[in-house]
Amino acid sequence: MSHAPRVTRPRTCFISGVAAALFAAAACGGDHPGQIEIGLPVPAYSALTLGGAPASLADLKGRVVLLNGWATWCIPCQREVPALEKLYMARRAEGLEIIGVNVDVSGAENRVREFMSTYQMTYPVWRDPADVFSGLFRAYGLPASYLIGRDGILRWHQVGEVDPESPSFKTALSAALAEPAPAP
């Protein structure tokens, strides 16, 4: 008896059927007509910092941003955080900014702080309890990551755990970091 080779895929926390239906409806037009494709500008996005201050991608123009959607209950997100933290510490001096977009429900701020402490997260976290992030970025699972160049153009994306050593990610990150910041 022969067995087919096993195909491995990034592990994700898939979102409920109701949420998936909402994402599908959003993808068919309406509030967010933009496309999430490598080589195109990312949509305008804003949220609040964990401290409650407004934050937006527009504020980060000129930096390379890895926007990472996650939740405290997501097991693959928990596994991914140490690698993201190590990447942040190693590459932030070169202009890499990692923004963790937490989509836990409203009122979970203490749980988010506890998670950050447990996993020793030092990169910034934005709160998005309404989960605008998933609909806007067409993320059908968590974690979901989007590498954005200094010019606001999407360079790489993945639903599932980021492997900072994967050739596609390393190539995209190195290229994005090598680009000069756009003129003001």
Q: What is the DSSP letter of 102?
A: E
Is residue 53 one of the residues assigned to a domain?
yes
What is the chain's length?
A: 184
Confirm whether 2 is domain-assigned: no
Residue 4 in any domain: the answer is no
CATH number of the domain bearing residue 113? 3.40.30.10
pTM: 0.83
120: in domain: yes
| Domain total in the chain | 1
Domain annotation covers residue 112: yes
Domain extent at residue 29: 13-178
Q: How many CB atoms lie within 10 A of CB 184?
A: 5
Residue at 82 is within a domain: yes
What residues contact 3, with CB distance under 8 A and at least 6 apart? Answer: none
- Reading the block at residue 105, the tokens are 């429900």
91 is a domain residue: yes
**Could you give the CA distance from residue 61 to residue 182 in angstroms, rounded to a whole number?**
8
* Beta carbons of 15 and 142 less than 8 angstroms apart: yes
- Write the pLDDT tens digit of every residue in 68-122: 999 999 999 999 999 999 999 999 999 999 999 999 999 999 999 999 999 999 9
| Least confident residue range of 3-7, 87-91, 164-168, 173-177 | 3-7
Taking only the tens place, the pLDDT of each residue in 117-151 is 999 999 999 999 999 999 999 999 999 999 999 99
d(CA 158, CA 122) in angstroms, rounded, equals 22
